[in-house]
Amino acid sequence: MTATDKLDVLAELSRILEERKESDDDKSYVASLHRKGLNKILEKVGEEAVETVLAAKDAETSGDNRDVIYETADLWFHSLVMLSHLGEDASAVLSELARRFDMSGLEEKASRNKH
Protein backbone atom coordinates (compact mmCIF):
# COMPACT_ATOMS: atom_id res chain seq x y z
CA MET A 1 0.00 0.00 0.00
CA THR A 2 1.43 3.41 -0.98
CA ALA A 3 1.34 6.50 1.27
CA THR A 4 -1.52 7.91 -0.84
CA ASP A 5 -3.46 4.64 -0.56
CA LYS A 6 -3.05 4.87 3.21
CA LEU A 7 -4.51 8.40 3.22
CA ASP A 8 -7.41 6.98 1.20
CA VAL A 9 -8.09 4.71 4.20
CA LEU A 10 -8.99 7.79 6.26
CA ALA A 11 -11.24 9.10 3.48
CA GLU A 12 -12.93 5.70 3.08
CA LEU A 13 -13.37 5.29 6.85
CA SER A 14 -14.90 8.79 7.04
CA ARG A 15 -17.33 7.82 4.27
CA ILE A 16 -18.29 4.60 6.08
CA LEU A 17 -18.76 6.46 9.38
CA GLU A 18 -21.08 8.98 7.71
CA GLU A 19 -23.08 6.14 6.16
CA ARG A 20 -23.38 4.33 9.53
CA LYS A 21 -25.18 7.31 11.08
CA GLU A 22 -28.27 6.02 9.26
CA SER A 23 -27.66 2.32 10.07
CA ASP A 24 -29.54 0.01 12.36
CA ASP A 25 -27.68 0.00 15.68
CA ASP A 26 -28.23 -3.79 16.11
CA LYS A 27 -25.99 -4.32 13.08
CA SER A 28 -23.48 -1.49 13.43
CA TYR A 29 -21.11 -0.66 16.30
CA VAL A 30 -20.76 2.89 14.98
CA ALA A 31 -24.53 3.37 14.83
CA SER A 32 -24.78 2.03 18.40
CA LEU A 33 -22.22 4.62 19.57
CA HIS A 34 -24.17 7.45 17.89
CA ARG A 35 -27.38 6.24 19.52
CA LYS A 36 -25.69 6.17 22.97
CA GLY A 37 -24.54 9.75 22.38
CA LEU A 38 -21.51 11.99 22.75
CA ASN A 39 -20.74 11.09 26.38
CA LYS A 40 -20.40 7.37 25.52
CA ILE A 41 -18.20 8.22 22.51
CA LEU A 42 -15.99 10.45 24.71
CA GLU A 43 -15.76 7.67 27.29
CA LYS A 44 -14.42 5.36 24.55
CA VAL A 45 -11.95 8.03 23.33
CA GLY A 46 -10.67 8.42 26.91
CA GLU A 47 -10.43 4.65 27.43
CA GLU A 48 -8.54 4.14 24.16
CA ALA A 49 -6.19 7.06 24.97
CA VAL A 50 -5.26 5.44 28.30
CA GLU A 51 -4.81 2.03 26.63
CA THR A 52 -2.55 3.65 24.01
CA VAL A 53 -0.39 5.27 26.70
CA LEU A 54 -0.05 1.97 28.61
CA ALA A 55 0.78 0.08 25.40
CA ALA A 56 3.46 2.67 24.51
CA LYS A 57 5.08 2.25 27.93
CA ASP A 58 5.05 -1.56 27.49
CA ALA A 59 6.49 -1.21 23.98
CA GLU A 60 9.40 0.82 25.31
CA THR A 61 10.27 -2.02 27.68
CA SER A 62 9.55 -4.97 25.39
CA GLY A 63 10.61 -3.50 22.04
CA ASP A 64 7.38 -4.94 20.57
CA ASN A 65 5.20 -2.21 18.98
CA ARG A 66 2.28 -4.39 17.88
CA ASP A 67 -0.03 -3.52 20.79
CA VAL A 68 0.67 0.21 20.61
CA ILE A 69 -0.19 0.20 16.88
CA TYR A 70 -3.41 -1.72 17.62
CA GLU A 71 -4.42 0.64 20.45
CA THR A 72 -3.56 3.73 18.41
CA ALA A 73 -5.85 2.42 15.64
CA ASP A 74 -8.64 2.09 18.25
CA LEU A 75 -7.93 5.65 19.44
CA TRP A 76 -7.94 7.11 15.91
CA PHE A 77 -11.11 5.19 15.07
CA HIS A 78 -13.00 6.44 18.13
CA SER A 79 -11.71 9.99 17.57
CA LEU A 80 -13.13 9.84 14.03
CA VAL A 81 -16.47 8.65 15.41
CA MET A 82 -16.38 11.64 17.81
CA LEU A 83 -15.72 14.04 14.91
CA SER A 84 -18.45 12.41 12.84
CA HIS A 85 -20.90 12.78 15.72
CA LEU A 86 -20.09 16.50 15.75
CA GLY A 87 -20.51 16.82 11.97
CA GLU A 88 -16.79 16.84 11.09
CA ASP A 89 -14.48 14.30 9.49
CA ALA A 90 -10.83 13.35 9.00
CA SER A 91 -10.37 15.87 6.19
CA ALA A 92 -10.86 18.78 8.63
CA VAL A 93 -8.02 17.43 10.82
CA LEU A 94 -5.79 16.71 7.79
CA SER A 95 -6.34 20.31 6.61
CA GLU A 96 -5.34 21.61 10.03
CA LEU A 97 -2.17 19.44 10.02
CA ALA A 98 -1.38 20.60 6.45
CA ARG A 99 -1.78 24.23 7.53
CA ARG A 100 0.97 23.61 10.09
CA PHE A 101 3.55 22.26 7.59
CA ASP A 102 5.34 25.58 7.23
CA MET A 103 5.25 26.36 10.92
CA SER A 104 7.59 25.03 13.58
CA GLY A 105 5.98 23.40 16.61
CA LEU A 106 7.16 26.28 18.80
CA GLU A 107 5.72 28.95 16.42
CA GLU A 108 2.46 27.01 16.32
CA LYS A 109 2.34 26.95 20.12
CA ALA A 110 2.93 30.72 20.28
CA SER A 111 0.15 31.31 17.71
CA ARG A 112 -2.24 29.18 19.81
CA ASN A 113 -1.68 31.39 22.84
CA LYS A 114 -2.91 34.40 20.79
CA HIS A 115 -6.42 32.82 20.37
Ligand X SMILES: N=c1c2ncn([C@@H]3O[C@H](COP(=O)(O)OP(=O)(O)OP(=O)(O)O)[C@@H](O)[C@H]3O)c2ncn1[C@@H]1O[C@H](COP(=O)(O)O)[C@@H](O)[C@H]1O
Residue 30 lies near ligand X (rule: CB under 6 A)? yes
Least separation in angstroms between CB 62 and ligand X: 21
Which residues, in sequence order, are CB contacts of 77 under 8 Å at separation 6+?
Answer: 13, 48
Of residues 98, 19, 38, the one with CA closest to residue 27: 19
Residue 28 within binding range of ligand X, rule CB under 6 A: yes
Q: How far apart are CA 7 and CA 113, in angstroms?
A: 30
Residue 41 found at the interface with ligand X (CB under 6 A):
no
State yes or no: residue 70 binds ligand X (CB under 6 A). Answer: no
Given the complex with ligand X, which of 24 and 108 has the nearer CB atom? 24
The answer to whether 67 touches 58, Cβ cutoff 8 Å, is yes
In the complex, least distance from residue 51 CB atom to ligand X, rounded to whole angstroms: 8
Is 72 near ligand X (CB under 6 A)? no
Distance CA 98, CA 29 (A): 31
CB of 43 to ligand X, least distance (A): 8
**CA–CA dist 41, 23 (Å, integer):** 17
Interacting residues toward ligand X by CB under 6 A: 13, 16, 20, 28-31, 74, 77
